[in-house]
Structure 1
Amino acid sequence: MIDKSVATALQAVADVFDGARVLVGGFGTAGMPDELIDALIEQGARDLTIISNNAGNGEHGLAALLKAGRVAKVVCSFPRQSDSHHFDALYRAGKIELELVPQGTLAARIEAAGAGLGGIYTPTGVGTPLATGKETRRIGDRDYVFELPIHADFALIKAHRADRWGNLVYRKAARNFGPIMATAARCTIAQVTQVVILGELDPEVIVTPGIYVQRVVKIDGAAGAGALGVAA
């Protein structure tokens, strides 16, 4: 019998190892798997490479992981906003590495990994420092820069509902990067607010098929509020 349910968030992240590459869903606070991140802090893995849209907000989620000194490198699109003070302090002190990736390119590189592609050509970044050291090619009447896929050892994502096979349904703005990140990691761990019986999820609304998900953990009261006041 296939059952990907895990009893606790700490058990779900127990095998995250030092130096792991970890995709973390979320757009700001919408869809951020805070409870999985808290469990990762408790678990103790260090020198992590975190791939996410942002580099932490305030004192929770990724910001707390950064504050705990567990992150060696961040790959993201928006490392600085008004409340990203933990990342800012670490970066200015030379204690953390940053790979800045335009948001569309970030998504496309993750999608490329999930699709088994060797990379993508994009016009974004051509002629800027972001293209330094990368192959550029003229295709038609435009220049493109070659970007490698982004693979990860683990993906931590947040969904709304799941069944024991790991099929996932998201809620509003919390969907963001979760579906593509689930395809690009060796082990995808999803925190959800509900685990339902097989057959209760309408196949037409399942966004992430269970084949991409290895573990599901139910977090009570984890629906929360998303960016711009949209429920996550």
Structure 2
Amino acid sequence: MSLLSCRGLTRAWGAFRAVDGVDLELAEREICAVIGPNGAGKSTLFAMIAGNLRKTSGTVHLAGEDVSALPAHAMAARGVARSFQITAICPELTALENVRLGVQAREGLRWQPLGGRAAMRRGEEAAMGWLERLGLAGQARLPAGELAHGDQRLLEVAVALAQRPRLLILDEPTQGMSQGETRRTVALLRGIMAEAETAILLVEHDLEVVFELAPRLIVLHRGRKIADGPTAQVRADAAVQEAYLGGLD
């Protein structure tokens, strides 16, 4: 049984269909990237899967459960975490506090009259562990809003990972990064992906990043899926190469 099964996902605004009848299957611990030009429907597709956007039609099943009508908070409770194309962190909180919120969301840690401090200390230790894995431990006590752009993007990934999701959705994780920041992020994400016990859906504008991270590739065009398969195979497809990859091979 697939971890994620989407059938006929459609989002329309009047006559315009941003996503038009997309089917998608994702296995446990599988890594898959979705590409396509601006306006292809990638972020809209992810928003429907995560419960951030109501579907016009279609269904989403997570581990066999019909979650088509569930909002984002209910999807998060079922193990779906995501990052956003525009960084979504709490800039006034420290990097450590941001990640601790992710840990608390997963573990249900709260201040309590008895044992509350110990629980919060465990949450902080877990959060520091994620910051270390993403190379941010040295900035743990800094307000998140003071971090460099690339580090803020990594921090958002750390918050998502701290929730120990079954499905992690990454929307443009290297958006706005310099070449150096992108190389560092790819190396860190490759290490995380190699050991993570989560399935990953990835949208990324930088195709070299896609080729390095994702063994499977889905191509969207005008809201429709036009290709789906092993990255090398899809990359070599003449029509896909002409339309999206610019003759890279």
TM-based fold match above 0.5: no
The TM-score, its normalising length taken from structure 2, stands at: 0.28
Q: TM-score, normalized by length of structure 1?
A: 0.30
Structure of larger gyration radius: 2
